[in-house]
Structure 1
């Protein structure tokens, strides 16, 4: 038995996806004394995490081929919802009946598609609360926050032990449904509004944008109640207050994805609000408008078509 510095058994961990979230938690688990591999498409030499306290160089193993891995104790799945199907080969190689997969992603539909890929494996949904930005492959800036909300139970207890000594706060929730919709209430406002305006959180200082954010949250809260989440108008006001605590220079994952030319996870955010609203016959015009706008966005740096003069894309953005 190998023990970490905190007295826990040393575990094997694979992090699938080396974006901001994957990088931060890979670093945390290395700090806790575990054997950590990063499963990626784009190779890099080392994992570098920038924080206000300095720069950390993390000696994790970087793997680019599922043929080079074998089952591990834990998999942290840190990809967007629309990339889940593309991780099938990784999950098949990394998982057996003894593995636990922790799904680190936004939205309220976290585990069904993952469980279908690994039917004999324990799958644990997790709500991520960090502010981090991927600057380049393997290079992450971690601003603040370092916690995960997970459903209370034996898997949460094991995850707490796994992260002991890492600086990460594991917060078991008796009602993850409510916790997930509370987070979606924030994400359905700040993610699209920063991505569409191409501005960081300082844009929320604009009264019209702040009012629009509140409208998006109120629509989401009504849908959440219909689904069974225990959210009220008071939660909207608390979420607005939480939003206003963010630094003006903070961005959102959707803004970072748009600036990088990546696909946007609108289907898991505003798209989810619209889908559930349709099920319950609830009118959500603001979320429907955000969904349509995000769906229609062209890549920020796309080349102009033959009929389109150079510069039109950038001006339109």
Structure 2
């Protein structure tokens, strides 16, 4: 048995998707002493993580072909939610009854579709709290944040051990539904408003934009309560206050995707609010407007 510095067995880990989130988590698990493979469509020579302390080159294995892969202990699914179906060949090669798949995606409906693609594996939803930007293939700038929320239980305990020594904090949650909708209240406001205005968080200093953000947050909270999340007006107030704590230079994943000409994940954010609102007969005109605008956005020239 090969042991890490902390005395836990070294695990085999495959990270599907080498965007900002996938790159940071591959780096974290390499620091924890595990065998890490990055599964990507476009090859690159090395993974480089830039932090306030400088650049670090991470010697992970970069894989572009699933054909010769074998099942691993852990799979971290780090593609955007709308891209989940495209990972079928990776999941088929990497998963068996002993594999645990951790979903590193935005949204509140993460597990939908993943079970069908990895029917033998254990599937764990999660909430990622990092701010990072993919600047080029294999080159990631990490701003801040180092935590991952997961459902409390045996899998959370295993994840705590897996990430020991990584610098990443695993936070077991007794009520992940509430935690997921709390995060969505923030994301359903700041992501579309930064992406559509092409401005970073300094845009929240505009009183009209802040009023719009507050409306989006309150609509999302109303839908969250209808689906069983325990969120109150106090959560709305805390979410709006949290927006003011962001550095003006910080961006959002949706802004970065638009600037890079990539597809926008509106379906998992405002689109999810609209879908659940319709199921419960709730009117969400602001989220509906954001959804319409985001799906109509054309790539920047």
TM-score category (smaller protein): over 0.9
Distance in structure 1 (CA, Å) of the matches to 2:119 and 2:93 = 14
**Separation in structure 2 between the aligned mates of residue 86 and residue 280 of structure 1, nearest angstrom:** 31
Counterpart Cα distance in 1 of 2:247 and 2:161: 32
2:231: which partner in 1? 231
Matched, 1:266 2:239: no
| 1:212-266 alpha-carbon deviations (Å, 9 max, x no partner) | 1011000000000000000011101001111111110111000011011111000
Displacement, 1:22?
A: 0.2
Distance across 1 between alignment mates of 2:8 and 2:63? 25
**Aligned partners of 1:295, 1:11: CA distance in 2, in Å?**
40
Residue 111 of structure 1 is matched in structure 2 by 111
Whole-angstrom CA distance in 1 between matches of 2:297 and 2:82: 16
Secondary structure at the aligned position of 1:170 is classed as strand
User: In structure 2, how many angstroms separate the alpha carbons of the residues matched to 1:163 and 1:5?
Assistant: 12
Matches within 5 A, 1:74-113: 74-113=74-113
Report how far residue 169 of structure 1 moved.
Answer: 0.4
Cα drift, residue 68 of structure 1: 2.6
What is the CA–CA distance in structure 1 between the aligned matches of 2:208 and 2:280, rounded to whole Å?
A: 29
Cα offset for 1:72?
0.4
Summarize deviations over 1:50-108 as a string: whole Å, max 9, x none: 00011110000000000131110000000011110000000000001000000000000
Which residue number corresponds to residue 50 of structure 2? 50
Alignment of 1:240-279 (within 5 A): 240-279=240-279
Alignment of 1:47-196 (within 5 A): 47-196=47-196
Q: In 2, Cα distance between the equivalents of 1:198 and 1:112?
A: 31
Secondary structure class of the residue paired with 2:299: coil
Instruction: String of CA shifts for 1:112-137, please: whole Å, max 9, x gaps.
Output: 21011111110000100000000000
Q: Give 5+ residue unaligned stretches, structure 1.
A: 302-317
Alignment-derived partner of residue 12 in structure 1: 12
Correspondence 1:204 to 2:210: no
Separation in 2 of the partners of 1:266 and 1:210?
20
Say which SS state the counterpart of residue 126 (structure 2) adopts. Answer: strand
Counterpart-to-counterpart distance in 2, 1:203 and 1:30: 36
TM-score relative to the length of structure 2:
0.99
Give the RMSD, CA atoms, in angstroms. 0.6
Which secondary structure does the structure 1 equivalent of 2:113 belong to?
helix
3-state SS, counterpart of residue 25 of structure 1: helix
Q: Distance in 1 between matches of 2:178 and 2:57?
A: 37
Consecutive unaligned residues of structure 2, counting only runs of 5 or more, are none
Give the TM-score, by structure 1 length: 0.94
The CA distance in 2 between the partners of 1:117 and 1:185, in whole Å, is 29
SS of aligned partner of 1:112: coil
Distance 1:263 1:186 in 2: 20
- Give the structure with higher Rg (CA): 1
Does residue 28 in structure 1 map to residue 28 in structure 2? yes
